[in-house]
Structure 1
Amino acid sequence: MTGPRLTAHGQGPRGLRRFTGPRPPRQETCELCGTPVREDGHRHLVETERRALVCACTACALLFDRPGAATGRFRAVPDRYLTDPDRPLDESAWELLQIPVGVAFFFRNAALDRLVALYPSPAGATESELDPETWQRVLGPGRLSALLRPDVEALLLRRQEDGRTDCHLVPIDICYELVGRMRLLWQGFDGGAEARAALREFFEQVERRAGAVPTEALRS
């Protein structure tokens, strides 16, 4: 099964069926070698030419985890979750970003050499036009931004009820998992109780996995 495209044009990225609809009865397989993989335990690669997520077995994924492999056609999606509690975003951040909902994610597209801003909606992943100056003002100076790997990681933002904005560095595939879950559960104008509960559970998992920015990573 081809993974979701890492882009959006109002109808959501291609391939979101793996996150939004009933699971197909057939066994998931590695899209490189055909080896059967567990639904909840396989890796993803980003195919940069098509801007799509590709399922991979552990052995194939390891081939693209090696130093120097990040310049090829496929790039392995890392499994790191980071937060920077010492440098929270300013309360005015969300107003400056002009995102119409309370959740968004940002990743750097290497081919386009620009930041792409997306947010979940009933139609899928919707792209928001982001002025480069705004990006630099709000997110650019942050330590997480300096660590962000193009195409395979994202800055995941959520605005809290008290006005502050949480920011985590996460694998890009979980952002599309969130998009698919919201598209499946969304009801009415505000998403509904089930979608809100799923969103809360999702971010609780992210927060449990996220570690503080390591000092050695900032020096490398």
Structure 2
Amino acid sequence: GHPLDDGAWELLQIPVGVAFFFRNASLDRLVALYPSPAGATESELDPETWQTVLGAGRLAALLEPDVEALLLRRAEGRTECYLVPIDVCYELVGRMRMLWTGFDGGAEARAALRTFFEGVERRAKVPAGEERRP
């Protein structure tokens, strides 16, 4: 339910269509990561940018440090945002690292990514007081 347009995504400076964000309690800051052939790749994220793009959203307010992440997927002109256990994000990182081939990941990695997000969507619940977007 968190609207995120192309301009907001560009502010995040994430070069791919999937990223996750969590609060690292020991560093006392938000960490932005995305899956890559080399594993989880960190992207520098300015705290002001975080506040502008995601900080005001309901899911960001629910985010528990070190154990939950906001998982974002930008596809087909829209951005999906899920609050998930952080191990779900690292599961995705592992799958992508294992399956990635060539420049764009290859057909097998893209299929695994679709299947992964279909599973996340099936398990997703809308926070109280909000409606699921089409």
Alignment pair present for 1:141 and 2:56 = yes
Matched with 1:185 is 99
Alignment pair present for 1:207 and 2:121 = yes
Letter aligned with residue 193 of structure 1: A
- Alpha-carbon deviations, 1:109-151, whole Å to 9, x = none? 1111100000000000000000111001000000100000000
Match for 1:104 among 4, 15, 19?
19
CA contact (8 A) 1:93 1:165 kept: no
Distance 2:83 2:64 in 1: 10
TM-score, length of structure 1 as denominator length = 0.57
Letter aligned with residue 3 of structure 2: P
Unaligned runs of 5+ in 2: 130-134
Paired-residue identity, %: 82
Is the radius of gyration larger for structure 1 or structure 2?
Answer: 1
Distance 1:104 1:124 in 2: 12
Structure 2 SS opposite 1:105: strand
Matched with 1:173 is 87
Letter aligned with residue 100 of structure 2: W
Tell which has more relative contact order, 1 or 2 (C-alpha 8 A, sep 6+).
2
| CA RMSD across the alignment | 0.9
Match for 1:159 among 65, 74, 92?
74
Structure 2 SS opposite 1:120: strand
Unaligned runs of 5+ in 1: 1-84, 216-220
Structure 2 SS opposite 1:139: helix
State how many pairs are aligned.
129
Structure 2 SS opposite 1:214: coil
Structure 2 SS opposite 1:211: coil
TM-score, length of structure 2 as denominator length = 0.93
